[in-house]
């Protein structure tokens, strides 16, 4: 079936300015961390990507090691770019990253110029692209000078392999230093991708202030705390859930206290006329410093459901106070 994008795809999505740049991102972006690799059903991933684009999601976020196996998410995305999305390339923001382990030997992870440049070259081949829109350093490297890592990002832009660069998982102080170095090099930092959810709020301790001051966008990942902030865990741990399988979310992290918090947050969501997942996404998007929220999806219906978070993003002071009181119990 030849793919033709939906003619009204831009009608309902909200777009937000990314820091002080010229780029606007959809309020909801799609991450390909899970469900798009070589061990997943290709046509399912393809259907999710088509549905995303048909609903105004223009930003697709990958990394060199996404799979499994590592690299396979980019390969699959590249195939779908060729068959479905090629005519729409200029309507899309495609990102990739390097920083975590990708290949053997001393140049296969962290933050050296050698690794970052090589990794992006590999990513472009896998995705069959001439350039990515955003290239991130995926995590700070304690053993490589920040100047080297940032000069690699600057080089990549000057080579035309990326239009913009970003950082991910950097704490406030290191983020500030990285942003300043990039500014001096003449390649401003576009965006930061941190882990942020109702249950993981470290970014509020300074990082969001730095990003606002420096005019850098923010796109949180794991906004639903690996599925905890959904209705899946209201009645215990389902057999097919991430917690049961032990991937990234461990069953022992789901304590009685955590389940109690989830249930009370769910009560607030219900009173708002929302599901818990919608409220959790809307809660992040309420902050104007957030450019976009990065969601995953294992099926088309899940993606369509997540977009409902945009229907009700306002919170009363009372609601925020109640939510805060619940979250502070941790």
Higher-scoring residue by pLDDT: 92, 250 = 92
Q: For position 236, what pLDDT does the model report?
A: 73
Rounded Cα gap, residues 274 and 34, in angstroms: 25
Over range 119-123, report the average pLDDT.
Answer: 98
C-alpha dist (Å) from residue 313 to 112, 273, 281, 298, 307? 41, 12, 9, 24, 11
How is 126-194 classified by DSSP, letter by letter?
Answer: HHT-S-EEEEEE-S--TTS-HHHHHHHHHHHHHTTSEEEEEEES--HHHHHHHHHHHHHHT--EEEEE-
Over range 262-277, report the average pLDDT.
Answer: 97
Higher-scoring residue by pLDDT: 232, 8 = 8
For 213-230, the pLDDT digits (tens) are 999 999 999 999 989 999
Tokens 């396979």 belong to which residue?
A: 72
Q: Could you tell me how far CA 163 lies from the centroid of its own chain?
A: 18
Rounded Cα gap, residues 40 and 73, in angstroms: 9
pTM summary value: 0.95
Q: For position 264, what pLDDT does the model report?
A: 97
Nearest one of 133, 150, 132 to 141, comparing CA atoms: 150
Contact assessment for residue 119 and residue 64, using Cβ atoms and an 8 Å cutoff: yes
pLDDT band for position 130 (cuts 50, 70, 90):
very high
Residue 247 has pLDDT above 90, yes or no: no
pLDDT band for position 299 (cuts 50, 70, 90):
very high
Q: For position 255, what pLDDT does the model report?
A: 86
Q: For position 289, what pLDDT does the model report?
A: 98
pLDDT band for position 282 (cuts 50, 70, 90):
very high
Q: For position 330, what pLDDT does the model report?
A: 67
pLDDT band for position 1 (cuts 50, 70, 90):
confident
Residue 85 has pLDDT above 80, yes or no: yes
Higher-scoring residue by pLDDT: 242, 292 = 292
pLDDT band for position 252 (cuts 50, 70, 90):
confident
Over range 58-68, report the average pLDDT.
Answer: 98
DSSP element (H, E) containing 317: helix 317-327
The C-alpha angle 17, 199, 214, rounded to 5 degrees, equals 30
Percent share of the chain, pLDDT over 90: 90
Average model confidence (pLDDT) across the chain: 95
Over range 84-98, report the average pLDDT.
Answer: 98
pLDDT band for position 232 (cuts 50, 70, 90):
confident
Contact assessment for residue 222 and residue 281, using Cβ atoms and an 8 Å cutoff: no
Domains of the chain: 15-226+281-311 (3.20.20.100)
Over range 23-37, report the average pLDDT.
Answer: 98
């Amino acid at each position: 079936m030849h793919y033709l994008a939906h003619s009204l795809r831009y009608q309902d999505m909200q777009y937000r300015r990314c820091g002080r740049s010229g780029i606007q991102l959809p309020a909801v972006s799609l991450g390909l961390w899970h469900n798009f690799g070589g061990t997943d059903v290709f046509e399912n991933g393809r259907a999710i990507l088509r549905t995303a684009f048909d609903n105004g999601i223009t930003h697709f976020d990958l990394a060199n090691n996404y799979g499994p196996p590592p690299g396979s998410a980019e390969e699959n995305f590249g195939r779908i770019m060729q068959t479905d999305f090629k005519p729409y390339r200029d309507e899309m923001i495609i990102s990739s990253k390097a920083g975590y382990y990708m290949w053997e030997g001393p140049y296969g992870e962290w933050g050296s110029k050698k690794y970052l440049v090589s990794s992006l070259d590999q990513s472009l081949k896998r995705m069959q692209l001439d350039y990515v829109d955003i290239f991130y350093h995926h995590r700070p490297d304690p053993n490589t000078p920040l100047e080297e890592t940032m000069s690699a990002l600057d080089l990549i832009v000057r080579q035309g392999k990326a239009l913009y660069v970003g950082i991910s998982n950097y704490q406030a102080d290191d983020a500030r230093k990285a942003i300043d170095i990039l500014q001096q090099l003449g390649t401003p930092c576009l965006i930061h991708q941190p882990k942020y959810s109702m249950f993981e709020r470290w970014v509020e301790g300074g990082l969001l202030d730095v990003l606002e001051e420096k005019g850098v966008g923010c796109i949180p990942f794991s906004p639903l705390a690996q599925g905890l902030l959904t209705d899946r865990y209201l009645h215990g741990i389902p057999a097919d859930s991430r917690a049961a399988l032990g991937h990234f979310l461990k069953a022992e992290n789901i304590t009685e206290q955590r389940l109690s918090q989830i249930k009370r947050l769910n009560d607030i969501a219900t009173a708002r006329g929302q599901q818990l997942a919608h409220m959790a996404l809307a809660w992040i998007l309420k902050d104007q410093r957030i450019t976009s929220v990065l969601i995953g999806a294992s099926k088309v219906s899940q993606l369509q459901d997540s977009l409902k978070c945009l229907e009700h993003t306002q919170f009363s002071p009372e609601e925020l106070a109640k939510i805060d009181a619940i979250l502070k119990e941790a």
